[in-house]
Structure 1
Amino acid sequence: MSSSDSMPAVISTSHGLKDTELPVPTPGARDLLVRVKAVSINPVDHKVRRGGGDKVLGWDAAGVVVATGDEVTLFAPGDEVYYAGSIDRPGTNSRLHLVDERIVGRKPATLDFAAAAALPLTTITAWETLFDRFRLSSQSRGTLLVLGAAGGVGSMVIQLARALTGLTVIGSASRDESRKWALDLGAHDVVDHHDLPSGVDYIFSPSTAGRIERFAEILRPGGAITAIDEPEGLDLLPLKAKSITFHWELMFTRPLFQTPDMIAQHELLDRVSSLIDEGTVRSTLTTRLSPIDAATLTRAHEMVESGHMVGKVVVEERLE
C-alpha cells in the first residue's frame, strides 16, 4: 500500500459533511495504520465541526491494524483494536486512519466492531475522572453523583465506579428510559436533575453552567467535582468555604501534549477490554447505522445533537 493510494473519507465543510477521497497516510514511528470498521459519534464531533474549516471528524473507532511504524511494539498487522485518537490529528471518518499505539487498546474479543467503537472516548474520560482526577481505588467509599447518567460518559462512570470502587453511585436522569438505563448499568439510585441529593462526596458533571452554588450546597466538606464541559465565566468561589476541589477532565490531554504517561490510555483500554470480556462491564451501544458515509454520519450527528440520546450511536461499514 503506497502513499499515492487514495481512500474514501468524509470531511466536514461549511456546507455540512461531504464524501471525498484522500491520500492513504503513511505511519510515523509509533503509529498504527488502522482499517476502520466502525466509528461512534460524540459531542466533540459537532463542537469541532462548528469551529469551521475542512477537516475529517471522528474520535472513536474500532478496526484492524494493517500496517505499523518502525518503532511500534504493542501491536502487529491483523490485530483488532479500539481507540479514541487525538484531536490534533485527522479523525476516524475515513477508511484508513493513523493513531499512536500508546493510546490504543485491544478490542474486546466478545464484542463486534460496532459495540467496541461505542466505548473508547467515554471509557477514557470516565476512567481518568475516577482514577486520575478523584484518585479513587477499590478501597474508596462515599457517594458519587453522576449527572447525565444515561449519556455516553455517565454510562461508563457508573459501570467503572461500581466495578472498581466501593462508592455508592447515584445517577441523575429526567426520563423513565434514562432512569431505567442508569439503574440497569448499576446505579444504586437515580434522581431527577432538579432534585439532587445532599451529602455527596464526588460529582461528575457534563453540564456545569449555573450549578456551582448548588454543588457547593450538596457536597460534603472536602468533596470534589470533575467537569468535562467548558462554561464561560465559571465562578468557583462558592466552593471555597467547604474546601471543595474542582477538576477539569479532557481525555485528549495526554496525546495532545505527548505526556510521559501517555501509554496509560493503552493500559486502561486493555483493562476495560478484559472487564468487558469477563462480563463485568458492557458496551453502551444503543443505535447502529450503516454505512460510513456523509449521509449516515449526518443523521448520527443530528441524533447526538438532539440531546435525547441514551447510550451511544455507532456508524459501521456496510455489512455484506
Structure 2
Amino acid sequence: MGCGSNASHTPIFLLVGLWRGGTPNYLLFPLFLIAYVAAVSGNLMLVLLISRDSQLGTPMYYLLRGLSVVDAAQATVTLPQLLVHLVCSQPIIPAAHCLAQFFFFYLFAVTDTLVVAVMALDHYVAICDPLHYSTLMNCHVCDCLMASCLILSLFHSILHSGLLLPLQWSGESGGAVQIPHFFCDHWTLVRASCSDIQYNVLAIFLEGSLFVAGPCGLILFSYAHIAATIFSLHSAAGHRKAVSTCSSHLTMVSFLYGTVIWVYFQPPSHNSPEQDMAAAVIYTAITPLANPFVYSFRNKNVKDALHRLLSSSQLNTQLD
C-alpha cells in the first residue's frame, strides 16, 4: 500500500471504535465512568493503606503499592479521553496527542507486566527460601527492581514510538484518519498507516516478544518451584497459606498476560477490530479495576488494615 499526496506524518485521527452502532453512548458513559473512578480510587486506597499501616511493610506490599500506582496511571492515560469522546459528536485526536497517549500507555502497561513478574519472584523467595527472604527481598532491592522495570519500559516505549514517527497516514478525501479503536493502540495505528510497516511488525514480534517471554519465563519458573515446595509440605495449614499467598497474584497474571498475548502477538490480520477492542477494554479498564478488588477481598491483611484505618477515622471523628 502506497501513500498518496494527502498523506501526512501528523494527521488528525478519528477514533471510531465504540461509535459505530452497538451499545448507545448514554449507557457506555456511566459504565466507563464507574470503572475509571473505581479503578483510581481503589488503587489509591491500596497505596494509602500500605503507606500508613506498618503491618503492610513487607516487600510484597511494597511492590503491590508500586503496582497500584502504575495501574491508576494506566487507567488515567486512556479512560478520561474515552469519557470525553463518548459525549462528543466527533471523537478526534491530533497526532501529537495520539502519539503521547501511545507512549505513556505503553510505558505504564509494560511496567505493569514487569512488576507483576517481580511479584512472582517475591512469592518464590518467600515460600521457597523463607530463611533468606529478609536478605534477598528488602525495600532497597524492591526500589532497584521497580526502577529497573520503569527503565526497561521507558526503553520499550521510546523504541516503538520512534518507529511510529516516520509513518504516514492518509485520510479520506483529506479528512481525518479513521482508527477502529477507542484509544491510540499500537496495532491499530500500524494497520492504518499507508507506509511500509515491516520494521514496526518485526519490532512488535521480536523485541516486544522479549518483554513478554522474559517475564512469563520468570513467572513460570517461580510458580514451578512454588508448586514443588507446596506439594512437599505436610501441613494442611501450610498448603492453605501458600495457596492464599499466590491466588490473588495468579488472578492478575491471567488477566494481564492473557489479554496482552491475545492482542499483540497474533498476525495483524488474525483478530477483528471488535476482538481487539474487547480485549483492550479488559487491560485498560478491567485489569486496573480488578487489582485493588482482588487484593482487598482476597487478602486478610489488607482487609484488616482497612478496618484499622476506618476504626481510627471513626475514633478521630468522635474525639473531634
Q: Scaled by the length of structure 2, what TM-score is found?
A: 0.27
Q: Which has more strand, going by share of residues?
A: 1
Q: Which has more helix, going by share of residues?
A: 2
Greater relative contact order, per chain length (Cα 8 Å cut-off, separation 6+) = 2
Q: Scaled by the length of structure 1, what TM-score is found?
A: 0.27
Larger Rg: 2
